[in-house]
């Protein structure tokens, strides 16, 4: 898989025009959900390079990242005459970039696409790294392929369009990047005022966060080794997210934040992660993200969700753990008792 071009933009108009010019195409398609169509498309829709674009609008939220929505996008591409030489621009949050990337990667065996993430979560996680896909059978990202966008354009101007909860959702992935990269980066993220962010300062921090992910992805594009570091917080986090989908869905970043609490407990007990850093991080998550209410009656279902995790090896639940900030331990396992203790630590 080729290296992915990630552009930190200060002028979305010029950057998008040049990115489209670099991709030879016969027809241009723009995919957005109903929210980004209303809030974000006005920031780019008047561009000359988009004047002949065909627009496909889908329903928002992760609950619609499914086979029905995927089939709708395929149908629209076919009805509007897309060929294997067409280009699709996915503009939106992680749901749009995940599903749009998968739709583009599979329509006529693959057409080129550009991602323009409009949420902090999509900027720091979903749109970068070539992972595409949909939810299936109640499981998060169960179906998908690895396929890089032609380019990913990141411009923090879009962050003016999102609410506090979506800002925090993306910030959880930045916190994860800090934990797996360095004490300096972790401390800066912990001390930044994300509730009242300076967008110029945040742009610099986003660029650094994306660079951490990009370096790891380039070393291991298909997640055979070190790329598993990016899954820190996600084994338990995806279980929380799947569990919430059966009740009241939560944002992905919130699930990851909650998952990091449980997995930091495993880091302390199994990898000697510093206790003081664990409690500082847990306090930060509690103060910004609150709590997801679970009881011991929910543990078995959460455990079952973890057994379906794609990272598992030989039926053993696979974790990425940390010996310290930046000290990554991939392919770690925990038995059921350890996992239930971690859930106890989260719940109480």
- In this predicted model, what pLDDT tens digit does every residue of 149-178 receive, in sequence order? 999 999 999 998 899 999 999 999 999 999
pLDDT of residue 2: 65
Label residue 245 by pLDDT band (50, 70, 90).
confident
Cβ distance 10 to 155 under 8 Å?
A: yes
* Per-residue model confidence as pLDDT tens digits over 188-216: 999 999 999 998 899 999 999 999 998 99
Label residue 1 by pLDDT band (50, 70, 90).
low
Asked whether the predicted pLDDT for residue 67 surpasses 80, the reply is yes
pLDDT of residue 304: 94
Question: 235-254 burial, b if ≥16 CB within 10 A, otherwise e?
Answer: bbbbbbbbbbbeeeebbbbb
Asked whether the predicted pLDDT for residue 254 surpasses 90, the reply is yes
- Mapping DSSP onto H, E and C, the string for 100-140 reads HHHHHHHHHHCCEEEEEECCHHHHHHHCCCCEEEEEECCEE
pLDDT of residue 46: 81
pTM of the entire predicted model: 0.87
Give the C-alpha separation, 194 to 248, whole Å.
25
Does residue 36 sit in helix, strand or coil? helix
Asked whether the predicted pLDDT for residue 24 surpasses 80, the reply is yes
Asked whether the predicted pLDDT for residue 312 surpasses 80, the reply is no
Stretch 37-42: mean pLDDT: 94
Sorted by where each starts, the structural domains of the chain and their CATH numbers stand as 6-161 (3.40.50.1970), 164-347 (1.20.1090.10)
Stretch 53-60: mean pLDDT: 97
The per-residue pLDDT of the chain, averaged, comes to 93
β partners of residue 318: 333
* Per-residue model confidence as pLDDT tens digits over 93-111: 999 999 999 999 999 999 9
C-alpha distances in Å from residue 268, one per residue of 265, 277, 279: 5, 10, 10
């Amino acid at each position: 898989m080729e290296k992915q071009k990630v552009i930190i933009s200060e002028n979305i108009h010029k950057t998008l025009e040049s990115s489209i010019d670099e991709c030879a195409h016969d027809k241009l398609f723009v995919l957005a959900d109903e929210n980004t169509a209303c809030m974000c498309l006005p920031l780019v829709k008047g561009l000359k390079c988009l004047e002949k674009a065909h627009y496909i609008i889908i329903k928002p939220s992760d609950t619609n990242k499914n086979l029905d929505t995927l089939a709708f996008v395929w149908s629209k591409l076919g009805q509007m005459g897309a060929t294997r030489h067409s280009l699709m621009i996915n503009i939106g949050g992680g749901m749009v970039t995940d599903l749009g990337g998968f739709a583009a990667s599979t329509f006529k065996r693959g057409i080129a696409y550009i991602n323009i993430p409009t949420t902090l979560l999509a900027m720091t996680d979903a749109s970068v790294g070539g992972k595409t896909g949909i939810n299936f059978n109640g499981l998060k990202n169960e179906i998908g392929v690895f396929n890089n966008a032609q380019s990913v354009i990141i411009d923090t101007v879009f962050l003016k369009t999102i609410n506090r909860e979506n800002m925090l959702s993306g910030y959880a992935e930045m916190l994860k990047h800090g934990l797996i990269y360095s004490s300096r980066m972790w401390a800066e993220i912990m001390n930044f005022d994300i509730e009242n962010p300076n967008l110029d300062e945040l742009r610099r921090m986003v660029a650094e966060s994306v660079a951490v992910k990009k370096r790891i992805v380039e070393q291991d594009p298909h997640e055979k080794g070190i790329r598993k570091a990016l899954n820190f917080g996600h084994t338990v986090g995806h279980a929380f997210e799947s569990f919430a989908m059966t009740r009241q869905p939560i944002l992905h970043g919130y699930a990851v934040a909650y998952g990091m609490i449980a997995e930091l407990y495993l880091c302390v007990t199994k990898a000697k992660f510093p206790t003081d850093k664990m409690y500082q991080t847990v306090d930060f998550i509690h103060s910004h993200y609150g709590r997801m209410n679970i009881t011991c009656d929910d543990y078995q279902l959460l455990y079952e969700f973890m057994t379906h995790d794609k990272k598992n090896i030989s039926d053993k639940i696979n974790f990425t753990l940390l010996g310290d900030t930046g000290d990554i331990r991939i392919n770690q396992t925990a038995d059921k008792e350890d996992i239930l203790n971690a859930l106890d630590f989260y719940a109480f």
